[in-house]
Amino acid sequence: MILSQLWRRRSRALALASGILVAATSFTLLTSTVTTSQARTTGLVEDSSRSAYDILVRPPGVGTDVEKEQGLVEANFLSGVFGGITLGQYERIKSLAGVETAAPVANIGYLMVQSTVPVDVSAFRDSDAPAQLLRLTPTLKAGLGSYPMADQYVYLTRNPIVTYKKWNKAETIWPDLQHEIDGDKKYAVCWFYNEDKNGDTFDNLGERLPQPLFVWNPVPKTAFTPDARSRMTCVPGDGKATAQIPVAYPVLLSAIDPVAEDRLVGLGGAVTSGRMLTEKDRPFWGPDSFDLNPVESQRQHDWQVPVILSSRALTAGTLDATVQRLDVGDPAALGARLSSPQAHDFVNALKGPDVGRATADLGTGFRTIASADDFEVPLYWTTGPVDYQDTGDGLVARTRPAQPNGLWTTTYENGLTQNVPEENTGTQFREVTAHAATDCMAFKTCIGKDAGRGPTPILNIVGRYDTDRLRGFSTLSEVPLETYRFPQVTGADAASRAALGDEPLRPDRNLGGYLSPPPTLLTTLDSLSVITHSRRKPTAQEKAPVSAVRIRVAGVTGVDPASRARVNSVAGQIRTAYPKLQVDVTVGSSPAPQTVTLPRDVKVTEYWVAKGVALRILRAVDTKSAVLFGLVLVVCGLFLAQAALASVRSRRTEIGTLRCVGWSAPEILRLILGELAVIGLAAGTLGALLAYGLGALIGLPTSVAKAALVLPVSLLLALTAGVLPAWRATRVQPLDAVTPPVTGVRRAVAVRSVVGLALRNLLRAPGRTVLGAAGLALGVAAFTVLLSLTLAFRGEVAGSLLGNAVVAQARTADYVSVALSLLLGAAGAVDVLVLSQRERAADLAVLGATGWSRRELGRLALYEGAGLALLGGLTGAVAGLATVLMIGQGLWEGRLLTMTGAALLAALAGVGLVCGVLSIPISAMSRIAPAQLLARE
The CA radius of gyration of the chain, in Å to the nearest whole number, is: 41
| pLDDT of 81 above 70 | yes
Give the pLDDT of residue 377: 78
Give the pLDDT of residue 371: 58
Percent of the residues in the chain that have a pLDDT greater than 70, as a whole number: 64
Average pLDDT of the segment spanning 296-320: 83
Cα separation, 796 vs 808, whole angstroms: 11
pLDDT band at 580 (very low <50, low <70, confident <90, very high): very high
Cα separation, 439 vs 449, whole angstroms: 7
Beta-carbon contacts of residue 30 (< 8 Å; ≥ 6 apart): 628, 632, 816, 817, 820
- Look up residue 604 and give its DSSP letter: E
Q: Between 756 and 355, whose confidence is greater?
A: 355
H-run or E-run covering 383: strand 379-383
453, 533 contact by CB (below 8 A): yes
108, 81 contact by CB (below 8 A): no
Q: What are the Cα distances from residue 295, in Å, to 197, 692, 785?
A: 33, 89, 81
Give the pLDDT of residue 705: 58
Q: Which of 408, 425, 407 is nearest to 416 (CA)?
A: 408
Q: Which of 210, 58, 924 is nearest to 574 (CA)?
A: 58
Give the pLDDT of residue 618: 53
pLDDT tens, position by position, 392-408: 778 999 999 999 888 88
Grouping H, G, I as helix, E, B as strand and the rest as coil, residue 299 is: coil
pLDDT tens, position by position, 261-293: 999 888 999 999 999 999 999 998 877 665 555
Give the pLDDT of residue 696: 62
Beta-carbon contacts of residue 139 (< 8 Å; ≥ 6 apart): 146, 147, 148, 149, 319, 320, 321
Cα separation, 903 vs 816, whole angstroms: 18
pLDDT tens, position by position, 118-160: 999 999 988 888 999 999 999 999 988 899 999 999 999 989 8
Average pLDDT value for the chain: 76
pLDDT band at 864 (very low <50, low <70, confident <90, very high): confident
Beta strand pairing call for 548-553 and 318-325: unpaired
Q: Which of 684, 858, 891, 937 is nearest to 788 (CA)?
A: 891
Give the pLDDT of residue 810: 45
125, 242 contact by CB (below 8 A): no
pLDDT band at 805 (very low <50, low <70, confident <90, very high): very low
pTM confidence score: 0.69
Of 303-307, 407-411, 471-475, which has the strongest mean pLDDT?
A: 303-307
Grouping H, G, I as helix, E, B as strand and the rest as coil, residue 98 is: coil
Average pLDDT of the segment spanning 754-758: 73
Lowest mean pLDDT among 325-339, 395-409, 478-492: 478-492
pLDDT band at 930 (very low <50, low <70, confident <90, very high): low
pLDDT tens, position by position, 38-69: 555 544 445 555 567 888 899 998 877 777 77
Give the pLDDT of residue 660: 77
Grouping H, G, I as helix, E, B as strand and the rest as coil, residue 505 is: strand
Average pLDDT of the segment spanning 898-906: 79
The residue count of the chain comes to: 937
685, 711 contact by CB (below 8 A): yes
Amino acid type, 335: G
| pLDDT of 15 above 90 | no
Give the pLDDT of residue 441: 58
Enumerate the β-bridge partners of residue 356.
323
| pLDDT of 793 above 60 | no
Enumerate the β-bridge partners of residue 375.
459
483, 501 contact by CB (below 8 A): no
Cα separation, 313 vs 466, whole angstroms: 10
pLDDT band at 425 (very low <50, low <70, confident <90, very high): very high
848, 858 contact by CB (below 8 A): no
pLDDT band at 523 (very low <50, low <70, confident <90, very high): very high
